[in-house]
Amino acid sequence: MNPVPRTPMSNTAKWALGLFVAFGAIRVIDFIFYGQQMRDLLAGTGLLLIAYGIYKNGFRSTDFHTAGRYASIAGTVLVLAAIAMRFWR
């Protein structure tokens, strides 16, 4: 089985990946230990899904990984839902 060759990630994609993982982990930890508010879980899961999409695709616009693309879209929807829940009152 031959692995599919991937182009290396750019430095910008590496920074964005690190930021999304860090912020996603902070939101999940906030959900588990402090507030148990659904918006924290949605935001953390969404940010981690966006990080997975960046890991799979980087910032390439062509030759994308389908699962990574759908994960990024789903993560964006979850983060937007968390923002809407924050300001719903």
User: Within a domain: residue 5?
Assistant: no
Q: How far apart are CA 28 and CA 73, in angstroms?
A: 19
User: Within a domain: residue 3?
Assistant: no
pLDDT recorded at residue 28: 93
Which residue range forms the structural domain that includes residue 71?
12-86
Q: Please compute the mean of the pLDDT values over residues 17-33 and round it to a whole number.
A: 94
CA 76 to chain CA centroid, Å, is 8
User: Within a domain: residue 21?
Assistant: yes
Q: Which residue has the higher pLDDT, 20 or 60?
A: 20
| Confidence at 4, pLDDT banded by 50, 70, 90 | low
Closest CA to 15 of 48, 54, 52, 56: 54
Query: How many independent structural domains does the chain possess?
Result: 1
